[in-house]
């Protein structure tokens, strides 16, 4: 099993460009989340999904869109990239709510110039 | 609202010394608390959770509801413990909220 995979690993964008960060999981987990990791800020939740067709906003959703058409995939879209979105992005999955372990992807390092 | 505070950004100890990484939380209900660790160039992974009350890699953490704390402790630090440590909380909802992290460096 691949677990949680993310593509690309690295990306450089110019301000105003759009792109999609891909996240896929083969663990049949219902819960999926996107976090960004910034120095001194820890991990902040961007968007999350409790199942196919259901998404909700996290702590820092502005500038990002998500959709969840299948259990396996949870792409994160940047519609118009800004330098403030330079960060490392992590996708994570969890089997269910509450005290279950959250599994993280390897991360995507995004730079917006 | 759920909130996790890790007061130390950086913590440096010598090999063999005890280490304690502090975590305080704010939540009105019954929290479920975790410690996640990120070793250099690796993805985040679960270290331990309070409901299992286990010791992983020599680390333990006890939930103190009176002090709203979940400090991570190890009696004798090893160089391979050097990593970024995150305390996290869920109130049973879908959201897992993380603290800002503590970077632990264990010096030889």
Secondary element (H or E) of residue B70:
none
pLDDT at B95: 80
Q: Strand B102-107 relative to strand B10-14: parallel, antiparallel, unpaired?
A: parallel
Angstroms from A39 CA to nearest CA on chain B: 9
pLDDT at B9: 95
Query: Which tokens belong to A17?
Result: 């460009």
Strand, helix or coil at A83?
helix
Q: What does the mean pLDDT of chain A come to? A: 93
What's the CA gap between B21 and B74, in Å, rounded?
9
The chain B residues in contact with chain A (CB within 8 A) are 6, 9, 32, 34, 36, 43-46, 49, 51, 86, 88, 90, 92-101
| pLDDT exceeds 80 at position A2 | no
> Looking at per-residue confidence, does A65 or B95 come out higher?
A65
pLDDT at B92: 65
**Res. A97 pLDDT band, cuts 50 70 90:** low
What's the CA gap between A49 and B80, in Å, rounded?
35
Secondary element (H or E) of residue A89:
strand A87-94
Q: What is the per-residue pLDDT across B46-96, written as a single tens digit (0 to 9) for each? A: 999 887 778 889 999 988 989 999 999 999 999 999 999 999 998 766 688
> Looking at per-residue confidence, does B55 or A67 come out higher?
A67
**Res. A99 pLDDT band, cuts 50 70 90:** low
Which residues are CB-contacts of B95 (< 8 A; sequence separation ≥ 6)? Answer: A45, A48, A58, B2
* Complete edge-to-edge strand list for the sheet that includes strand B72-74: B19-21, B72-74, B60-61
Q: What is the per-residue pLDDT across A20-50, written as a single tens digit (0 to 9) for each? A: 999 999 999 999 999 999 988 889 999 999 9
Q: Which residue, A30, A92, A24, A76, is CA-closest to B98?
A: A92
Q: Choose the closest CB to A42 out of B43, B94, B101.
A: B101
What's the CA gap between B98 and A9, in Å, rounded?
23
Compute the count of residue pairs across chains A and B with CB atoms less than 8 Å apart. Answer: 55
What residues in B contact A44, CB-CB < 8 Å? Answer: 98
What's the CA gap between A1 and B12, in Å, rounded?
37
pLDDT at B96: 86
Angstroms from B103 CA to nearest CA on chain A: 10
**A107 interfacial to chain B (CB closer than 8 Å):** yes
Q: What does the mean pLDDT of chain B come to? A: 91
| pLDDT exceeds 80 at position B1 | no
Mean pLDDT on A83-97: 92
Angstroms from B75 CA to nearest CA on chain A: 25
């Amino acid at each position: 099993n691949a677990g949680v995979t993310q593509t690309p690993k690295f990306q450089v964008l110019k301000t105003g460009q759009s792109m999609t960060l891909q996240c896929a999981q083969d663990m049949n987990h219902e819960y999926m989340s996107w976090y960004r990791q910034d120095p001194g800020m820890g991990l902040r939740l961007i968007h999350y999904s409790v199942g196919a067709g259901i998404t909700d906003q996290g702590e820092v959703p502005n500038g990002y869109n998500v959709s969840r058409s299948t259990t396996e995939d949870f792409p994160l879209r940047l519609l118009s990239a800004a330098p403030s979105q330079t960060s490392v992005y992590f996708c994570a999955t969890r089997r269910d709510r509450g005290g279950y372990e959250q599994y993280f992807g390897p991360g995507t390092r995004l730079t917006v110039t | 609202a759920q909130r996790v505070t890790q007061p130390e950004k950086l913590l440096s100890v010598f090999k063999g010394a005890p280490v304690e990484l502090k975590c305080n939380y704010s939540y009105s209900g019954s929290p479920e608390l975790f410690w996640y660790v990120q070793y250099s160039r690796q993805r985040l992974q679960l270290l331990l959770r309070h409901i299992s009350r286990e010791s992983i890699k020599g680390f333990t953490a006890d939930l103190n509801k009176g002090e709203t704390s979940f400090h991570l402790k190890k009696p004798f630090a090893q160089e391979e413990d050097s990593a970024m440590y995150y305390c996290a909380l869920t109130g049973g909802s879908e959201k897992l909220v993380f603290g800002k992290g503590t970077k632990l460096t264990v010096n030889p």
